[in-house]
Structure 1
């Protein structure tokens, strides 16, 4: 397992993450990219804990995602299955689990202040923190995707499923976008990755 973890997370985090996996008897599955999520946790019918994480994540996002899912496991074990998945119990658990990793041996110096701010009140996805998401993206392999906020007003873009939209105005935190084929309006997170149609 250590050899596998070395491929996906920063070297200084491998041993403590391995210990967390062993302590909780986690079956870690590294899977092909899913568009809708970076990872997930589920308790299997046999009682074993299964965590899946996308193979395509850069090593910093992979580590954050893995600890996010282990926090679900710990929070459910400690507080019971009736808690909100991303409620206060999960937030506190996630903060405690991430704290030992928020150091320059694990994350680049430019990410540390953004991570410290994010983990004061962690959200259900690091993607909803636009500043952190953009900072993490610089460690991704090159791709032809843009964030919604980078698309000009009135510009068109395509989703992974082929649907085409025109970007509208920002409404509080999200952007109103009109699907070209149906005329229906949808709200998009500013840092949703899409293909800009020039």
Structure 2
């Protein structure tokens, strides 16, 4: 029941039973993870047999659902073929479209998300961030944290705090922004559409 409670907390109501059935039919360890710098979710095989899916717990319900099913598609590809193959190649794309199909309806997604989501699924990329219209539609449904702004909207050279570290905003490269960690000088790649706190 723990998995169902997590899904009920994070998903649109009409998607909970479907996503729970996927978990029951293809069991895996599921974790609603703290936000991460470089990814929204992941699928991994631990110790050779343990299947684990994680999804960042700060995503809005619609982004959480898309990410959850994105990772379930990876799991299904692994189970069917016992190999990872090309991570976001033709087999994964087809599988992702299959698992998304039952939730592509207005009882689950608002039309502002559903229309660009269907377009994205015609040739899904590794991240929804590669589809600007879908990314904007999903972000418009976020609750903006007090005192924060999207990294992608911050001018280059500005300082900000993210996950308790301070960075300087650098150049944007596709779906990520190359930033410099202030204390170490290390260059790190951060997803462009995370919420960050501006600092002086």
* Equivalent residues in 2 for 1:1-198, closer than 5 Å: 1=1, 2-45=4-47, 47-143=49-145, 144-152=147-155, 154-167=157-170, 190-197=192-199
Count of residue pairs brought into register by the alignment = 197
Tell me how far apart the structure 2 counterparts of residues 116 and 59 of structure 1 sit (CA, whole Å).
17
For the pair shown, the structure with the greater C-alpha radius of gyration is 1
Contact 2:154 2:169 in 1 (8 A): no
- After TM superposition, the score normalised by the length of structure 1 is 0.80
Rounded Cα–Cα distance in structure 2 between residues aligned with 1:115 and 1:13: 16
Distance in 1 separating the partners of 2:37 and 2:111: 29
For residues 38-90 of structure 1, the C-alpha deviation after alignment (integer angstroms, 9 at most, x for no partner) is 22222343734222222222211111111111100111122331402222211
Q: What's the offset of the Cα at 1:101?
A: 0.8
Aligned mates of 1:129, 1:121 — CA distance in 2? 10
Q: Secondary structure at the match of 2:49?
A: coil
Structure 1: tracts of 5 or more residues without a match: none
Contact 1:159 1:194 in 2 (8 A): yes
Q: Tell me which of the two structures has the higher relative contact order, counting C-alpha pairs closer than 8 angstroms and 6 or more residues apart.
A: 2
Unaligned runs of 5+ in 2: none
- Cα gap change, 1:112 to 1:186, in 2 (>3 Å): same
Distance 1:16 1:55, change over 3 A: same
